[in-house]
Chains A and B, each alone.
Chain A
């Protein structure tokens, strides 16, 4: 890949923080989905925060991809929170009639991490031991 990174997936304790930095096309979105699901397994993540604050459009495909990530992550034992949905994007998603279903959302990264702490529970010592090698 050339140029600046489109997305970054960083580890923060038992959580993964995935930030999308720029508008992604459908194949890039799908690649992101695969990368993230892959990292959940490798890093034994218990929670995932997806930061979409940089996206100016969340259309049906992007929403569906986020929902798929949430479902797949749940089956893999991780909780997913989408943070940073811009107000006009949120309004458009409602107008479009998109069902965000079981997807957890939070206002920003801080709220997202707090939500994960509540949902996953404070079990950091155990994960820290397990994930120590990574």
Chain B
């Protein structure tokens, strides 16, 4: 090679000689390294080393020097890569990084809890703080208050339920739109079913969007009951879902014959269809009753237009759409108990029960 003869004479000559080596170095590195960008990096590094050493290398030996350098550079790269692979697991940081909004959220959370605590009665707040924060047990609290441990526990239970409601209100910065909201939310929060019935919580949730949204976390924390199913009704398909759920729950009681189950399912189908037809949406709750007798109770409620003339709607053949007019009167014949409460403009609630056959 003529270019090699020039090496050492001038810097320009040296770089020309090195430039002439580029295709060969590329070939050597390319044969060993598959990744194009990595290969190009290594080629550049090889050339830099050769250029730096070109003054020291004997003329005519530059080419073998470049070959050896290229091999060494590749080998070093492989070793480096291997080392990195072995140590890669040490690089991973498993702790989640703090979210940028984390601090702010925690602050909001604290202020919501503080606001909720402030809205409790002083007695409730003191008992709650003594028990939850200072860790006093119910018995020592009872002696302080001149009460019994059971009464203190009940008071704490009520205070917690109230705190949950106030916390949700403070967190969302909402004030309940009606004065029925707080009692309903409180009944849901404490999980007191008798109280929920008294304040007609189900109906209120259908009417009040604020409470419907706020009650979600309250309902979710209630233990899953296997003697009650709640089916939201929103369209045709839910009619089938409701009657199948009713049949399933009633079937689990073991006291109903296949015919009884079909009667119940058909009655549920009729009242649920009325919700879809007239109100558009609502809910059906199927629950097992133990008192006064064992049986299954179906409550179908909606916040629809209501029925202007309930007596007439219960007559056979009365239909406001092209039905058989059998919906309500038919369902009434199929069940043992049947009650309907309807208010124009507020909605309709049908409650019907079928008792277990006496054995």
Residues of A at the B interface (CB closer than 8 Å) are 23-28, 56-61, 63-64, 86-89, 91-92, 95-99
Contact = CB atoms under 8 A, between A and B. Distances in A.
A60 B262 contact: no
Q: Is the interface of A mostly helix, strand, loop or mixed?
A: helix
Nearest to B247: A56
Interface in B217-270: 236-237, 239-240, 243-244, 247, 257-259, 261-263, 265-266, 269-270
Contacts of A86: 262
A57 to B, nearest CB: 5
B334 A95 contact: yes
B37 to A, nearest CB: 46
B334 A92 contact: yes
A24 B243 CA distance: 12
Contacts of A89: 262
Nearest to A27: B236
B329 interface: yes
A57 B259 contact: no
Nearest to A61: B273
A92 B273 contact: no
Interface in B314-333: 316, 323-324, 326-327, 329-330, 333
B259 A88 contact: yes
B326 A57 contact: no
Given A59-B266, A60-B323, A97-B330, 5 more contacts: A25-B240, A57-B269, A60-B326, A60-B330, A91-B259
Contacts of B237: 25
Contacts of B258: 88
For chain B, the bracket of interface size reads: 20 to 34
Nearest to B261: A88
Contacts of A63: 324
Given A56-B265, A88-B258, A92-B259, A25 B239 contact: yes
Nearest to A67: B324
B214 to A, nearest CB: 32
Contacts of B240: 23-25
Contacts of A97: 316, 326, 329-330, 333
6 nearest CB pairs, A to B: A25-B236, A88-B259, A96-B330, A59-B269, A88-B262, A60-B326
Contacts of A25: 236-237, 239-240
A34 to B, nearest CB: 15
Interface string B170-190: 000000000000000000000
Contacts of B247: 56
Nearest to A23: B240
Nearest to B325: A60
A5 B14 CA distance: 81
A72 to B, nearest CB: 14
Given A57-B265, A92-B259, A95-B263, A23 B330 contact: no
Most-contacted residue by chain B among A23, A25, A57, A89 (CB, 10 A): A57
Nearest to A87: B259
Contact of A92 (B244, B263, B327, B329): B263
Nearest to B265: A57
Contacts of B333: 95-97
Contacts of A96: 266, 270, 326, 330, 333-334
B244 A59 contact: no
Given A59-B269, A92-B334, A99 B324 contact: yes
B260 to A, nearest CB: 8
Contacts of A23: 240, 244
